[in-house]
Amino acid sequence: MSDSLIRARGLGRRFRQPTTRLFEPKKWTTALDDTDIDVAAGSAMGVIGESGSGKSTLIRLLLGLDAPTTGTVEVDGRAVDARAGARALHWLRRRTGVVFQDPYASLDPRMSVGRIVGEPLWALGIDGDRRARVREVLTDVGLDAAMAERFPHEFSGGQRQRIALARAIVHRPDILVGDEPLSALDVTVRAQILELLRDLRRRDGLTLVLVSHDIGVVQNLCDDVVVMKDGRIVEEGPTEKVLLQPQVSYTRRLLASIPVIDPTRPGA
Ligand SMILES: Nc1ncnc2c1ncn2[C@@H]1O[C@H](COP(=O)(O)OP(=O)(O)O)[C@@H](O)[C@H]1O
Ligand SMILES: [Mg+2]
């Protein structure tokens, strides 16, 4: 038994590389290899690593958006079976929200903001005054409730990422997963969204899994961090320890190569 809300054991994912010639031998890419993850309820885990190190693959497996080649994922002690189909994962959708890097790609341009944000309430069959909840969550992310009537193209990148975040939390998930959700935003907007995420953690005890290549974001938001390289975790531990006293040379190189925001200015 463990008190992990999210628990993965021996998690691995291989992808077949496309072949160009007819009798070419099959080649495989190991995107994730024999990885264990534990995220305690109410805690925040940051995931860092160079491009192609397996961060997004890990996130997709944890959310049941992709099926592992090896290993298992459990959320609150319940097996996540991505092969079982959408209906079987209803419970996991109910408990999780996800935000990706590109806010525009994840918003249907033909749908009003209100429909986009409220869609999970309908899809998950959550009762209550759905329109009121949409207005409330728009306000929570720092938008005007009247924006529900408008369309995504009318908004800036930062506003669209707020819309994406509103959609991710409208059904009050207890787990929020972000795959570089702040990367496309400028510094000011990033600071605002960061503050918002901190509030959600404080107020709602949200459990957070956050992929970011911005060390300032990880430092501000995450209790623990895992460092990935070639599909494996090469270092992990409390954020302060890993960032300030990295034990592995890869982590030291990674930290030297990625943006660092002055830690004495939280939210900067
Ligand atoms: N759908 C896919 N098909 C084939 N290869 C993939 C697929 N998704 C990821 N990969 C490969 O797996 C590795 C890890 O990718 P990814 O998890 O996206 O890394 P990161 O998010 O850290 O940049 C990369 O080599 C990538 O090319
Ligand atoms: Mg990625």
What's the pLDDT tens digit per position in 174-225? 999 999 988 878 888 888 888 889 998 999 899 999 999 888 899 999 999 9
Higher pLDDT residue, 153 or 2? 153
Residue 24's identity, in one-letter code, is: E
Closest CA to 31 of 211, 201, 208, 232: 232
Q: What tens digit of pLDDT does each residue of 127-167 get?
A: 999 999 999 999 988 899 999 999 999 998 889 989 999 99
Is residue 226 within 6 Å of ligand 1 at its C-beta? no
Q: Are strands 232-238 and 224-229 parallel, antiparallel or unpaired?
A: antiparallel
Q: What is the mean pLDDT of the chain?
A: 91
At residue 18 the predicted structure's pLDDT band, cuts being 50, 70 and 90, is confident
Higher pLDDT residue, 266 or 173? 173
Distance CA(68)–CA(83), nearest Å, equals 9
At residue 248 the predicted structure's pLDDT band, cuts being 50, 70 and 90, is very high
Q: How far, in Å, are 16, 85, 216, 251 from residue 100 at the CA level?
A: 24, 22, 18, 24
Q: Evaluate if residue 268 carries a pLDDT over 70.
A: no
Q: Which two tokens stand for residue 238?
A: 């409390």
Q: Evaluate if residue 261 carries a pLDDT over 80.
A: no
Is residue 51 within 6 Å of ligand 1 at its C-beta? yes
Which residues sit opposite 14 in a β-bridge? 30
Higher pLDDT residue, 158 or 66? 66
**pLDDT over 90 percentage in the chain:** 72
pLDDT average, residue stretch 48-73: 97
Residue 157's identity, in one-letter code, is: G
The rounded Å distance from CA 20 to ligand 1 centre is: 19
Distance CA(192)–CA(109), nearest Å, equals 24
pLDDT average, residue stretch 66-80: 97
Q: Evaluate if residue 107 carries a pLDDT over 90.
A: no
**Which of 26, 30, 51, 57 is the pocket-test mutation for ligand 1 (most atoms within 8 Å of CB)?**
57
- What is the 3-state composition of the chain as percent helix, strand, coil, each rounded to the nearest 5? 40, 25, 35
pLDDT average, residue stretch 235-250: 96
Nearest CA to ligand 1 atom 12: 31
Q: Evaluate if residue 1 carries a pLDDT over 50.
A: no
Is residue 12 within 6 Å of ligand 1 at its C-beta? no
Is residue 249 within 6 Å of ligand 1 at its C-beta? no
Report the predicted TM-score, pTM, of the whole model to 2 decimal places.
Answer: 0.92
